[in-house]
Amino acid sequence: MAVNLTMKESAYISQVIYRINLCDSFSDFSRILLSQIRTIIPYSKAMAIKVSSRNNEFIYEEPYFVGSDKESFDESRFVDGNYRSIWWEYMEAPWSSVFRASDSRDEEEWNRSALYQEVYRPQKLYYALQATFVHNDIKLGMIGLYRQKEDGDFTEKELFFLELLKMHIELKLYRLVTRYRGFKADPNAPGFSVPKALVNEYSLTRREEEIINMMLNGSSDPMITEDLCITKSTFEKHIHNIYIKTGTKNRVGLFGIFRG
């Protein structure tokens, strides 16, 4: 099916991409993404969750939920329960996926399922548009948008909107999630990390430690600001604070401290 976007829709999608790339934490990312996306993909409730796997089980981290009229998604039922959702199957793929739940389920079986009876039905939800995010076989997270039955299923155009955003969300999540889980961008690449003893000695914040590590591993200033999604002025403030804490005046001095 061919999908034509208006200039307004194209501009708004660009705005969403811009806004999520400014986010510095998963909670901010979830809040901004779900609030912005609601304009082009209306929903009743939504959620975003970081996902990892351990011993063939999914681990949920930092679930974020949005409801209508300040009504929250009943996260305890979903996160604490053992419900088999269709997005689990997509999460096993080595790439990110966007899909409508109704395209992959039998309606009679769905209406009898524990997930519908115990989670969806009490909240008057029926349809779902979901996306799973995986990068380099690293499981990152998922988002789900939900509607009541009377509001109708998500359209092909709305599916296409989320498909357009998929790669941008994936890359942003990869930078956020792997940073907080302690991944290197390339686990096989040689790299230098500031010893924790020096981090404690100079009372470095997590962001200051990240910047020093990137500098010592050869990243340029523009690369650092892009990878960390911060402005040039914010970067310069971090550098100023690092110099004050370490008693240095330039990068040669920093290299002398941390490289020895």
Is pLDDT of 135 > 90? no
Residues 141-192 pLDDT 10s: 999 999 999 999 999 999 999 999 999 999 888 888 776 555 544 444 445 6
Q: What is the pLDDT of residue 181?
A: 58
Closest CA to 34 of 20, 52, 51, 21: 20
Q: Who wins on pLDDT, 74 or 193? A: 193
CA atoms within 13 A on the CB side of 209: 17
- Cα(146)–Cα(100) distance, rounded to whole angstroms? 10
CATH fit for domain 196-259, picks 1.20.140.10, 1.10.10.10, 3.90.550.10, 3.40.50.620: 1.10.10.10
Contacts of 198 (CB under 8 A, 6+ apart): 204, 257, 258
- The share of the chain scoring above pLDDT 90, in percent, equals 33
Mean pLDDT of the chain: 82
Q: What is the pLDDT of residue 83?
A: 66
Q: What is the pLDDT of residue 132?
A: 93
- Cα(157)–Cα(98) distance, rounded to whole angstroms? 12
Q: What average pLDDT score do residues 50-63 get?
A: 76
DSSP code, position 149: G
- Cα(51)–Cα(252) distance, rounded to whole angstroms? 40
SS3 98: strand
Domain ranges of the chain: 7-181, 196-259
Q: What average pLDDT score do residues 15-34 get?
A: 90
Residues 212-224 pLDDT 10s: 888 776 677 887 8
Is pLDDT of 73 > 80? no
End-to-end CA distance of the chain: 61
Is pLDDT of 131 > 70? yes
- Cα(19)–Cα(168) distance, rounded to whole angstroms? 11
CATH topology agreement for domains 7-181 and 196-259:
no
Report the CATH number of the 7-181 domain.
3.30.450.40
